[in-house]
Amino acid sequence: MPEGRVRGHLKMELIFFYIFAGLAVATALGVVAFKNPISSAFALVVSFFAISAVYAMLQAHFLAVIQVLVYAGAIMVLFIFVIMLLNLQPEELEERGFSTVFKGAAIVVLTAFCFGLIFLFRQMVFVFPKADASFGTVKEVGKLLFTTYWFPFEYVSILLLVAIIGGVVLAKREL
């Protein structure tokens, strides 16, 4: 491949990275800024998809698919279920919200922080070791998940179950 095409390819890849990374950060800020919990949940779904696109750009296709299936699919269904189960009224949401000045200041500080990180990372040179061909395959991830990391896997399963039961208990308490 001619060198001009390689540079053009790398430039296009960098542009797409900035687009998806910016979308992920903007929607993550939307998650905490929106007053409506459903809007926050949908912003979180968009953030999950943007992160999945970044994984795909890194040639981690398995992680990209799992990000969409597990987080954007299953976990968000649980979040929406709990939000609907709690059935918060608009008055209750306003009581729990932050002031507009605080939100604006938080957005300005976080934006400045992100630009500072971008500047810092652009000054650094990263050298990553070459991974072997089996790294990140479904077989290797499954082997690690059910041997080395079986306890954290089961712990997260129990934690999600407890969170669902807690949401049901909170919803039933108000009836």
Could you tell me the residue ranges of all domains in the chain? 3-126, 130-175
CATH of domain 3-126: 1.20.120.1200
pLDDT at residue 139 greater than cutoff 80: yes
- Whether residue 78 contacts residue 168, with contact meaning beta carbons closer than 8 Å, is answered with no
Distance between CA 122 and CA 18 in Å, rounded?
A: 13
CB within 8 A of 162, min separation 6: which ones? none
* Alpha carbons within 13 A on the beta-carbon side of 69: 6
What DSSP string describes 26-77? HHHHHHHH-SSHHHHHHHHHHHHHHHHHHHHHTT-HHHHHHIIIIIIIIIHH
Which has the higher per-residue pLDDT, 126 or 18? 18
Q: What's the whole-model pTM score? A: 0.57
Confidence of residue 22 (pLDDT cuts 50, 70, 90): very high
pLDDT of residue 20: 92
CB within 8 A of 106, min separation 6: which ones? 98
Distance between CA 31 and CA 24 in Å, rounded?
A: 11
Q: Which of 24, 137, 164, 148 is closest to 80 using CA atoms?
A: 164
Which has the higher per-residue pLDDT, 133 or 144? 144
- Whether residue 75 contacts residue 47, with contact meaning beta carbons closer than 8 Å, is answered with no
